Amino acid sequence: MLDIGVLGAGSWGTTLALHLYGLGHRVTLWEFRPDAAERLRSDHENKEFLPGIPLPDTLEITSDLGEACHGKDIWLVVVPSHVVRSVVERMKDLPLDDAIIVTATKGIENRTLYRVTEIFQDTCPQWPSERIAALSGPSLASEVCMQIPTSVVVASEFLPTAQRVQHAFFSPYLRVYASEDLVGVELGGALKNVIAIAAGICDGLGYGDNTKGALLTRGLAEISRLGMAMGGKRVTFAGLSGMGDLITTCNSPHSRNRHVGEQIGRGRKLQEILDDMVMVAEGVKTSQSAYDLSKRHHIPMPITEEAYYVLFHDKDPRAAVEDLMMRDLKVED
């Protein structure tokens, strides 16, 4: 049994906290707003981000980051990617002792274009890289909290760290694989959200299964191209954090990123859609970062590029699809 601090009480953080608690670990869940933490305690439910799922009385909930991290074997960071830096800044003076730091966040920071574990190393260079890991894969919170069979992958540059987390998180309904390809696992999980927005756009435009099949396949091709240029392994992009998550996110009615795309395809404006959402859709900010990364590494990413123009330059979604269809003819690679 381990002591685990789960940092971030959104849908995914709360789900993982419940999962780990159910496995017998001692879990402390951190919510950054004291009033929201108090509501979690008094409601015994996360009405904002995970309604309908009871929180046990004995699950510790705090808004004190130091308390959530103190003496823990694992610090599990599950806040949206755009706030990771501000949270980790507040953790940099906390004693790490023997803790492993795991992130289950999926995103790429705007401007720096850092993966989440790169933000860790930038902010807290004293954290040893062999104690850093990332968890990713097709894992919608709404299904994991109902104990629907799910498989994920945890990666660390130091395989024994990934294996330690693998054993701590594994259950009969959550199968966990280990990987040494931290770069590939993080990039797959982040970049697929951009393709999910594009898939939603196609749904909103009323296109069919042929379109979706092509989008997923060519989407994975461009994710793999960029990912390998950045040091990820080809096999990882065909794995759970690449193809696996892409299939789930692009098809699920529960995917927020696909939902954003679908609304755009139906003619709504991005800001209006985001204003209606309580929960984060990581793919929106990641589209900007992915576009910038493709330019930095000179990797063609036509679907990502069109998604970026639709989201941030008001390009007509139908024209974006037409432009993709009318690109120069290629050999399939």
Interaction between residue 11 and ligand NAD (CB under 6 A): yes
d(Cα 306, Cα 156) in Å, to the nearest integer?
32
CB 270 within 8 A of CB 260: yes
192 is catalytic: yes
Looking only at residues 75 through 114 of this chain, which bind ligand NAD when binding is defined by CB under 6 A? 78-81, 83, 86-87, 104-107
- Shortest reach from residue 179's CB to ligand NAD, in Å: 16
Catalytic pick from 47, 72, 106, 192? 192
Nearer to ligand NAD, 22 or 302 (CB): 22
Taking the CB of residue 48, how many other CB atoms lie within 10 A of it? 18
Interaction between residue 140 and ligand NAD (CB under 6 A): yes
Name the helix (H) or strand (E) containing 174.
strand 174-179
d(Cα 232, Cα 225) in Å, to the nearest integer?
9
d(Cα 15, Cα 189) in Å, to the nearest integer?
18
Q: Which of 56, 57, 69 has the alpha carbon at shortest distance from 30?
A: 69
Interaction between residue 166 and ligand NAD (CB under 6 A): no
d(Cα 239, Cα 330) in Å, to the nearest integer?
25
CB 122 within 8 A of CB 112: yes
Instruction: Quote the tokens at residue 5.
Output: 């601090």
Nearer to ligand NAD, 103 or 211 (CB): 103
User: Is 116 exposed, middle or buried, given 0-12, 13-18 or 19+ CB atoms closer than 10 A?
Assistant: buried
Which residue's CB atom is positioned nearest to ligand NAD? 10
Q: Which of 203, 222, 262, 282 binds ligand NAD (CB under 6 A)?
A: 282
Q: Which of 117, 123, 139, 263 binds ligand NAD (CB under 6 A)?
A: 139
Interaction between residue 217 and ligand NAD (CB under 6 A): no
Render 94-141 in DSSP notation, one character per residue.
S--TT-EEEE----B-TTT--BHHHHHHHH-TTS-GGGEEEEESS--H
Nearer to ligand NAD, 12 or 291 (CB): 12
Residue type, 274: L
- Shortest reach from residue 285's CB to ligand NAD, in Å: 10
Interaction between residue 21 and ligand NAD (CB under 6 A): no
N- to C-terminal Cα distance for the chain? Answer: 47
Q: Which of 280, 307, 311, 321 binds ligand NAD (CB under 6 A)?
A: 280
Nearer to ligand NAD, 261 or 321 (CB): 261
Size of the site for ligand NAD (CB under 6 A): 26
Nearer to ligand NAD, 8 or 232 (CB): 8
Interaction between residue 310 and ligand NAD (CB under 6 A): no
Q: Which of 8, 200, 242, 244 binds ligand NAD (CB under 6 A)?
A: 8
Nearer to ligand NAD, 201 or 284 (CB): 284
**Catalytic center residues:** 192
- Binding site residues, ligand NAD, CB under 6 A: 8-13, 31-32, 49, 78-81, 83, 86-87, 104-107, 139-141, 279-280, 282
